[in-house]
Structure 1
Amino acid sequence: MPAFAGMTALVFSLLSGIASAQDLLIRNATVHTASARGTLQNTDVLVKNGRIAAIGSGLPAGNAAVVDAQGKPLTPALFGGVTDIGVEEVSGESATVDSTLALGAGAADMQVRPEFDVSLAYNPDSILVPVARVEGIGWTMLSAGTRPGGSLIGGQGGVVRLDGSMDAIGPRALFVTLGGDGARLSGNSRAAQWMLLDQLIDEVRGRIPPESKFALLTPAGRTALAKYFGGGGRVVVHIQRAADITRLLRWSKQRGVNIALLGAAEGWKVAAQIAAAGVPVFVDALANLPADFDSLGATLENAARLHAAGVKVSFAQFNDASHNARKIRQLAGNAVANGLPWDAALAGLTSVPASAFGIGGEMGSIAIGQRADLVLWSGDPLDVANIAQQVWLDGRAIPMRSRQTELRDRYLRPDNGLPRAYPAH
């Protein structure tokens, strides 16, 4: 404990005057690059103008501020999962929830609006942003969800960095819900999902004219969907059952659609097929018991079995993922405990999702030219007993404070004679 406290004091004293600095030298770190270079011991990382400029030993600092990592782990800033951070503040208050679109009353007048882009509602001042960020989370993929009155196509989401910027980066992704969860959005039959998807492709490709009374898309919707159903943008499909995954793989290959799987509780059953298709998978590594009839084959070894088959594995939560984004580290650590190699688990929090969402050239690893989105940890980042000691985004030291830490500090301070709700003066 004294060594940990000393390290913390050292880091914060060095950073107290450089909160806005972009030139930085982190010395003597255990650098987990999340790249082909693997883990580098006793290594320095030099940051210039917000980008990683050099990685090696004994690097000259020049005018850069220096932090001695004392051998502690340094990783890329972590992926927070597929969440509603910044588009959902209080889930029980509809005025603060912008993640889903509902138009129409049912399947008969279903509104398919793939042009809906949830990132346009992102609030960088959300309380959830610093709560996730102090735990080492640097970015997330915003999800366009589905709900009754909507369709099996939720809309588009985008990657947002938790650095206070407002706009999403990189290409958008289209979110689709299939299987049992999607049946209520497709006339209460999963068989109808393939019928509807094929009709949408017919509309995009001009086989159903826009003026047809059977058309489901607006002009803007046809333009938006053409990007995804033409083999371009990533289509993220929430799906669980092995049989449904197999049909999706066949359908996407025949139609030229670039998919990723979200959930895939039974993905291990068809891991070889997923690997052959080159499809990344975002799993809940804590799913062990059947939540419904689509996930009867759920197992804690899902991530390990998928990886062993050659699948690129990342992670996602499905229970309050936005307010508890920090728990994604627990998912990765749990996957390691059940057979996933440690390096593959770290990649699942960094380079795998960055590549899947088209931003691998910018972030997701510690490599020259990448954004300097970095986290210095007290110990193994996949062990929840350890903490993020400092987060840097574009080389800028992020204040390690959130609404939760402020409440903690208020109610742990010495009694000043006033009720705890009153701040000290």
Structure 2
Amino acid sequence: MSKHTLTPALLALSLLAALPAAAQNLLVRGATVHTAGAQGTLHNTDVLVQAGRITAIGSNLSAPAGVVVVDAAGKPLTPTLFGGISELGAEEVSGVDDTADTRLQLGPQPTRPEFDVTLAYNPDSILLPVARAEGIGFSALAPNPGASFVAGQGGVINLDGYSTPLAGRQLYVSIGGNVAGQSGQSRAAQWMLLAQMIDEARGNIPPTSPHALLTPAGRKALSGFLAGHGRIMIRANRAADIAQALDWAGREKLSIGIVGGSEAWKLSSRLAEAKVPVFVDTLVNLPSSFDQLGARADNAAILARDGVAVSFMQAGDGAHNARKLRQSAGNAVAHGLPWETALAGLTSVPARALGVDGQLGSIAVGQRADLVLWDGDPLDVAQVAERLWLGGVEHALRSRQTELRDRYLAPAGSLPRAYQPRPASSR
């Protein structure tokens, strides 16, 4: 047999190893179920999972034969949490270029809305288990501005380690002083260039024009968003920029979301009326740039009070620090955001805004069984996730970080710790 040839038996084993684990038939009994949906919080409630889906929610549910029963003992059960808008799944080390795939640097046509960063998604990223250990089950993989302030497309990923990105796409556009270098050193030019791109996508400027900004593929991609096939996510913080975005979306009849929104509270009524969701970073609560002079700690509370759908994100290295989203939501509660609204901001609100609420983001019959059992308040960073299921498959809450911890906390042996076998608890 050639060394490059697999026997049928070995081939079968290799294929089986690549398949996801089988979904568990599961009954979580006696939990405090935070549905993040219309049913609100249900006390002493059971959740039945079969074939990876939630099939029943109620009290004293019977356990069908072969179903694993987990006694929650009143502990909180929530949907898996949102990991924010970040590079998670397309970046390993932000300072190492060949592990970071979220920025496009091309010329002579640097504006490429057809760029889809989800094609670089790595379900084996070592950052995914780190996020899962914090109860995170889904995230928005997004491109970062490169040669253009129109960064390209992103999508929702499930952190089960097997899935391709979920259906639906978002187009990410940055507006403000931090991307002025990609638009002739003026944010006014950003709106000018966007207007031309829309004209091109609508066929008002011929593709052969020497001044065209888009490739044929770019025109096609942008025209899809203009037709309502996906949400355009506007990264902006200054109130004046958010107001321009609302005017622009109204004129062009576009579905948009605001990412960042440090000064969004100034426009809460307009955002609510336009039904524009806002993804805020509550850890940015002091002026840190001229675009964020109006940053304040109760931004999320003001927005929610006026009817804006509020979710959370992190404005820096979010792939490595997705765990801070719980802290962000907890800080918002400390500054006036209702607890249930904050939990929805980590579950059902982002799922709905990103077009995947038919699959995840809430505990309801028919939804994917993406669940987390906590040892206490999930918005309190002193509490931890005890067990996590994605599509009914339980995932061990371990990562490269916990394996290193266990290895170097273990008693010294005959060999240096770096050469010792992995602890049994990590296998």
> If the length of structure 1 is used for normalisation, what is the TM-score?
0.93
Q: What SS is found at the alignment partner of 1:288?
A: coil
C-alpha distance in structure 2 between counterparts of 1:286 and 1:145, whole Å: 20
Q: Which of 36, 50, 53 is the matching residue for 2:52?
A: 50
Residue-pair matches, total: 401
Partner residue of 1:324 out of 306, 321, 326: 321
Alpha-carbon deviations, 1:39-81, whole Å to 9, x = none?
0000000001100000000001112110000000000000100
Which position in structure 2 is the counterpart of 1:241? 238
Q: Residue deviations 1:2-49, cap 9 Å, x none?
A: xxxxxxxxxxxxxxxxx7442100000000000011000000000011
Q: What is the CA distance between 1:161 and its match in structure 2?
A: 0.4
Structure 1: how far apart are the matches of 2:245 and 2:134?
A: 35
Could you tell me which residue of structure 1 aligns to residue 116 of structure 2? 117
Partner of 2:76: 73
* Aligned structure 1 segments of 4 or more residues deviating by more than 6 angstroms: none
Instruction: Report what 1:94 is aligned to.
Output: 97
Residue in 1 that maps onto 2:9: none
Preserved contact between residue 236 and residue 259 of structure 1 (Cα < 8 Å): yes
Report the counterpart of residue 22 of structure 1 in structure 2. Answer: 24
1:385 aligns with 2:398: no
Alpha-carbon deviation of 1:424? Answer: 4.2
Q: Extract unaligned runs of 5+ from structure 1.
A: 1-18
2:135 equivalent in structure 1:
136
> Match for residue 210 of structure 1?
207
2:340 corresponds to: 343
Q: Which has the larger displacement, 152-161 or 166-175? A: 166-175
Q: Measure the CA separation in 2 of the matches of 1:362 and 1:124.
A: 19
Kept after mapping to 2: 8 A contact 1:333/1:383 = yes
Residue segments in structure 2 that go unaligned for 5+ positions in a row:
1-20, 423-427
Read off the aligned partner of 1:385 and give its amino acid letter. Answer: A
Report the Cα distance in structure 1 between the residues aligned to 2:38 and 2:179, rounded to whole angstroms: 38
**Residues of 2 paired with 1:86 and 1:233: CA distance?**
21
1:166 Cα deviation from its structure 2 partner: 4.3
Q: What CA distance in whole angstroms lies between the structure 1 residues aligned with 2:175 and 2:191?
A: 9
Cα RMSD for the two superposed structures: 1.1
Aligned to 1:11: none
Q: Choose which of 409, 412, 418 in structure 1 pairs with 2:406.
A: 409
SS in 2 for 1:74: strand
Indicate the SS of the match to 1:293.
coil
Counterpart in the other structure of 2:189? 192
Q: Cα deviations across residues 69-109 of structure 1 (Å, max 9, x unaligned)?
A: 000000000010001112100111100000110113xxxx4
Match of 1:376 in 2: 373
Please give the alpha-carbon distance, in whole angstroms, between the structure 1 residues aligned to 2:289 and 2:226: 30
Q: Which residue of 1 aligns with 2:304?
A: 307
Give the match for residue 13 of structure 2. Answer: none
Q: Secondary structure of the equivalent of 1:169? A: coil
Task: Output the amino acid matched with 2:113.
Answer: P
Q: 2:355 aligns with which of 353, 358, 365?
A: 358
- Equivalent in the alignment of 1:270: 267
Identical residues among aligned pairs (%): 60
Distance in 2, Cα, partners of 1:382 & 1:372: 21
In the alignment, which residue of structure 1 is the partner of 2:168? 171
User: In the alignment, which residue of structure 2 is the partner of 1:256?
Assistant: 253
Corresponding residue for 1:333?
A: 330
Question: Does the 8 Å CA contact 2:109/2:214 hold for their aligned counterparts?
Answer: no
Contact 1:29–1:42 (8 Å) recurs in 2:
yes
Offset at 1:327?
A: 1.1
Deviation, 1:319, is: 2.0
Alignment partner, residue 4 of structure 1: none
Contact 2:109/2:215, CA 8 A, preserved across alignment: no
The alpha carbon displacement at 1:318 in A equals: 1.3
